[in-house]
Chain A
């Protein structure tokens, strides 16, 4: 079955540490996105990528970095510069058609130790 796989489901970060969240899709989708969700809040866009080797900042990119070396993969690194990383992180993708909904992975919950 096609879908989006995020790992790990839970992640703990020590102060000063960088951590990487994995997002893999086998839907052959071109565009991929990373969102952050805080309690009682909507989803906020961190980064997005429309094609391989290209990505753009979203509304809250500071303290995060991404790469898009393969079509299937869009990992997100939460750097030590992100002072408030505790949140639920969601990866999404769409095909090239703008009338299609975004498909979401199951999310990664990141907490500070």
Chain B
């Protein structure tokens, strides 16, 4: 089975940097994904990590350490529109058709 933990809520100021952590325990690992989800909407893909290290994409970066079962999403130059839920998801093995196992999400509030 898999267990994914991330903080429930975070608050940060517009223009600042915020780091959202995710820890996981899995019996099969085929990559870690970060999604953004605004209230009442579908999740949208942000980043993918399968090897250790940092992946940078504009204002968003994601880091993975497979040995520690740890990832983080870094958001720079925060904007009000970044207020959303951020979901960490681990891709399981082929025995579940490579389905994603999601954490409960971190609700980020960006304040002026």
- B104 contacts which of A33, A35, A41, A48 (Cβ < 8 Å)? A41
Question: In the bound complex, what is the Cα–Cα distance between A31 and B92 (angstroms)?
Answer: 14
Q: How many whole Å from B28's CB to the nearest CB in chain A?
A: 11
Asked if B41 contacts A107 (CB within 8 A), the reply is: yes
Given contacts A101-B45, A104-B43, A107-B41, contact A50 B50 (CB under 8 A): no
10 closest Cβ pairs, A-B complex = A42-B102, A104-B42, A101-B45, A43-B102, A42-B104, A48-B97, A50-B97, A98-B98, A45-B99, A98-B30
Asked if A48 contacts B99 (CB within 8 A), the reply is: yes
Residue-wise, chain B 38-55 has the 8 Å CB interface mask toward A (1 for contact) of: 001111110010100000
Question: A2 at the A/B interface (Cβ < 8 Å)?
Answer: no
Residue-wise, chain B 65-107 has the 8 Å CB interface mask toward A (1 for contact) of: 0000000000000000000000101010000111111111100
Q: How many whole Å from A43's CB to the nearest CB in chain B?
A: 4
Given contacts A41-B104, A107-B41, contact A101 B99 (CB under 8 A): no
Asked if A107 contacts B42 (CB within 8 A), the reply is: yes
Question: In the bound complex, what is the Cα–Cα distance between A50 and B87 (angstroms)?
Answer: 24
Residue-wise, chain A 90-110 has the 8 Å CB interface mask toward B (1 for contact) of: 101010001101111111010
Question: B31 at the A/B interface (Cβ < 8 Å)?
Answer: yes
Asked if B87 contacts A43 (CB within 8 A), the reply is: yes
Question: B63 at the A/B interface (Cβ < 8 Å)?
Answer: no
Question: A40 at the A/B interface (Cβ < 8 Å)?
Answer: yes
Question: In the bound complex, what is the Cα–Cα distance between A34 and B105 (angstroms)?
Answer: 18
- A102 contacts which of B30, B41, B96, B100 (Cβ < 8 Å)? B100
Question: In the bound complex, what is the Cα–Cα distance between A6 and B42 (angstroms)?
Answer: 11
Question: B24 at the A/B interface (Cβ < 8 Å)?
Answer: no
Please name 23 pairs of A and B residues whose Cβ atoms are closer than 8 Å in the assembled complex, sorted by A: A31-B97, A35-B102, A40-B8, A40-B104, A40-B105, A41-B104, A42-B4, A42-B87, A42-B104, A43-B43, A43-B89, A43-B102, A45-B99, A48-B97, A58-B96, A88-B40, A99-B31, A99-B50, A101-B45, A102-B33, A103-B45, A107-B41, A109-B40
Q: Of all chain B residues, which has the CB nearest A50?
A: B97
